[in-house]
Structure 1
């Protein structure tokens, strides 16, 4: 039996990027994820723009409710074209109640991914409500070494592709005097694999790259000096 096609729409102005990994995981659990889009003003949402697997749709932020309007228009247009069977909406904004109601009337299944602040009326407008953060234990703050690795990846990454794993080893040794052999894990690949909330790495190969997960570094308490 073919899995239902699912689309993910994220109101980046309303949901913290700290939930990015959970949102993608939950959305993938609803069916075959055919598209994943985050909406917001790119100048105010640098963390969301760097999340792997998401297409960021820039919405100029000076107009009231600009993000809501663009997301609603795109969702209705795609639903009318029959691009997907299920909608996953990540937001806690009750302005989306008419959208959810309309999509359900069209026969689409709606899953709402919202925070604890999501109002009851919005929850009731969906088929399924999943509360973000309800079962997520607080992650440990990144270490100073984690922050140095993140800074290097950010410096050498192009279009969110990350940097070559081999280059990371060279740069960490040259700039910070940290060699892979000095790590408890023994290699930078193992180092990244031991921190899945902070980094992701390609399968072994000549062109393998490493990327950082913005959600793992989100929050004022995590933005500390890397000196």
Structure 2
């Protein structure tokens, strides 16, 4: 797969957050921490928080105050997030895809982005909220309790075939 992006196009990190999956009481996730984890990979070109119709107005307002574009869907949040992320990949609108989730359902979109030569990052809400399949499909991973995996030490975690 070839991206339509040329080497001199300014691109950065596209952050997509699976709200119902990450913003759960048992994980105590702060959206600022999610943003910081993604910003460690480069300049953010989009920060989107996907929520379902049960999201409270307070959550939506808090996310918008932190600079997130909030996408509320009446259907499955996963489908909308995956379609948007795949579109960003196909259009060459990012050099890194960061997905904050603990859901293995995003493995195909991560693999699609990898196929376009886009770096991928999985952000997990905590050690017990991590999808190993998603983590292994990405170039790098961050667990918000501080664990960072990846290929900085020369040992990949699966996306490059190692």
RMSD: 2.1
Q: Spell out, residue by residue over 1:44-77, the C-alpha distance to the aligned partner (whole angstroms, 9 max, x if none).
A: 24454122110000111xx4xx100000011111
Equivalent position to 2:12, from 5, 9, 15: 5
Equivalent position to 2:36, from 25, 28, 31: 25
Determine if the alignment matches structure 1 residue 71 to structure 2 residue 81. Answer: yes
Partner residue in 2 for 1:96? 106
Determine if the alignment matches structure 1 residue 119 to structure 2 residue 131. Answer: yes
Aligned residue-pair number = 131
Distance 1:3 1:130 in 2: 24
Structure with greater Cα Rg: 1
Unaligned ranges ≥5, structure 1: 136-227
Distance 1:121 1:2 in 2: 31
Unaligned ranges ≥5, structure 2: 1-7, 148-162
TM-score (norm. length: structure 1):
0.53
Structure richer in strand, relative to its length: 2
Distance 2:133 2:39 in 1: 25
Superposition misfits of 4+ residues, deviation over 3 angstroms: 1-4, 45-48
Partner residue in 1 for 2:22? 15
TM-score (norm. length: structure 2):
0.73
Q: Are residues 46 and 92 of structure 1, via their aligned partners in 2, closer, same or farther at CA, if it must alter by over 3 Å?
A: farther
Partner residue in 1 for 2:45? 34
Q: Give the structure, 1 or 2, with the largest relative contact order (CA under 8 Å, sep 6 or more).
A: 2
1:42 is displaced (CA, Å) by: 4.5
- Tell me if the contact between 1:8 and 1:35 (Cα under 8 Å) persists in the aligned partners: yes
Structure richer in helix, relative to its length: 1
Distance 1:2 1:78 in 2: 14
1:82 is displaced (CA, Å) by: 1.2
